Amino acid sequence: MIHVRQREDKAVFETQMGLHHASATTQEWLDKALLQVAYSDIRAISVPGVFRLEKDSNAKVAKEADDADQPKAVPPNWVSADPLGEDERIEQSSVLVLGQKIANIRFKDVLGTTIQSDYGLSAPKLVLQVETAAGQTLIYEMGLRQGAGDYVLKISNRPEYFALAIILERGC
């Protein structure tokens, strides 16, 4: 038995959890999925000054041939907000992968709420804007952390700076 309480609460509770089940490191207490947004809620993705992609508002629903009562959602079609050149086209599968990476982003550590000069955010390596179904615009700024081999992420709706594994750069 251990006794627990929330930081802002004065009530103390007794629980059946053994102390040996509690992690000794803060890394294991982090909710690494904190930054995730549902892929279905992403309405637009843009790199300011480079491109803007939007989910096609005329999304279709397909019927399964063997089960006409159960509609199956078709992956959304992404369209460019800007005219494309004659030989340009949007690779739908690549946009799907990008959207899923944004939706499922995970961090490895919280760096605090104060920006540091070694975060590489004075000239970010990448700035993404993501618009959600709720009308919220999230700005993702990523910088390469000097000497650490990590990317630092700052998202406009959070006060914290987050360390991301460099594996994101390799597309894994």
For 95-145, the pLDDT digits (tens) are 999 999 999 998 988 999 999 999 999 999 999 999 999 999 999 999 999
pLDDT at 35 over 80: yes
* Euclidean distance between CA atoms 52 and 49, whole angstroms: 9
pLDDT tier, 28 (very low <50, low <70, confident <90, very high otherwise): low
pLDDT tier, 172 (very low <50, low <70, confident <90, very high otherwise): very low
Query: CA angle at residue 112 from 106 to 115, to 5 degrees?
Result: 105
* Euclidean distance between CA atoms 32 and 110, whole angstroms: 10
What phi and psi, each to the nearest 5 degrees, are found at residue 29?
-95, -10
DSSP alpha helices (H): ranges in the chain? 92-103
% of the chain with per-residue pLDDT over 90: 54
pLDDT tier, 9 (very low <50, low <70, confident <90, very high otherwise): confident
Q: Residue 131: CB partners within 8 Å, gap ≥ 6?
A: 42, 43, 44, 45, 46, 137, 138
Helix (H) or strand (E) run with residue 139 in it: strand 137-144
pTM: 0.74
